[in-house]
Structure 1
Amino acid sequence: MSSLFWRVKGRSWLLSSIKFNVNRSISMTSGMNNPKKINTDLIGPADPVSNLRPVVFKISDKESPLEKKLRLQREEVQKWNQNFWWHHNNNFYKQKQEYIQRSALRNETGSTEKNALTTKEMSTFYKDFLDKNWEVHRKYNVEWYKKNFKLLLLSYRVKWEGLVRKFFPVHD
């Protein structure tokens, strides 16, 4: 799949194409997307299933071990989030299509088009789907908060380390 990458700050630039492989991770097809050669984080287009935008995190030339740990944890959280929403939304689309087909057969309309069902009929599906997945969403939210809190604490440590390096430089 060929796509644009957008800079986080400033104008957008066409950098190269990316493709999503079978396990939904991002594989780079151009040296320009080398995280060591970019000067800012890059945000890609939304995945068609998960609706999340992949991020390529910049790798600084002077990246400290703590900064590397933060970057790797951010990448891990991004992969975990991508994986959850890809599977969740795939399940949603599959169940929605099955519901539409069952309803069409029940109504004997023969039509399986989206607009063959009323808003009220579809709201019944949405409510049932959310009710059935309430526990999954709750567990996801708890885990998401834990992961982001850990990232926040690590971010503060990285910031503190940077301030210490700035005001108390170590000279060899």
Structure 2
Amino acid sequence: MKFFTLSTTLLAGLAIASPVADPKPEPEADVDVYVEKRIAPAVVGMAILTGVVSGLVGAAAREAISTIKDVRNWDDAREKFTTRTVELMVRKAHAKEAAVCVNVGYSVDDESKIRDRISLDYKMGNLHTDYDCFYLSGPSTFHLEGDGGFINIAVQSGPCKYDRGTLTCPP
């Protein structure tokens, strides 16, 4: 009798602790549509800058983002960001300076000739890349250590000369 009472009590306890199936499971399609509606606005057409974006270069980068915010293609957005940023930067450049935005490796033979360098992350949804944007004066030489193209670099050379990855600024 004790065994019967013990086993009945144990089974009753297990039955209470077991999970109960949802009486009305939601169809898979509804869940997918709901998730898609939540995620889509955050991914499409949203570009964000992070990092220290102050000074003249930061202001140019922020303004560039505001003018290209509706671009939805990642590569197009990056090209427009670099070109628009340096277009805005060069307006505030000193007479003997070039404006540069780059996201691949580079070297400058005289770092003291760099002014207002900022490093920032450019994000669109889950995609992101980083850029350095700055003014360069001479005498100095900038060497690109990666692929060119407006996705990776944009230069408004001013009095400097840019040729195949090398920017040379005279004294």
Greater gyration radius: 2
TM over 0.5: no
Bigger relative contact order, structure 1 or 2 (CA pairs below 8 A, ≥6 apart): 2
TM range (shorter): under 0.3
**What is the TM-score normalised by the length of structure 2?**
0.20
Question: Structure 1-normalised TM-score?
Answer: 0.20
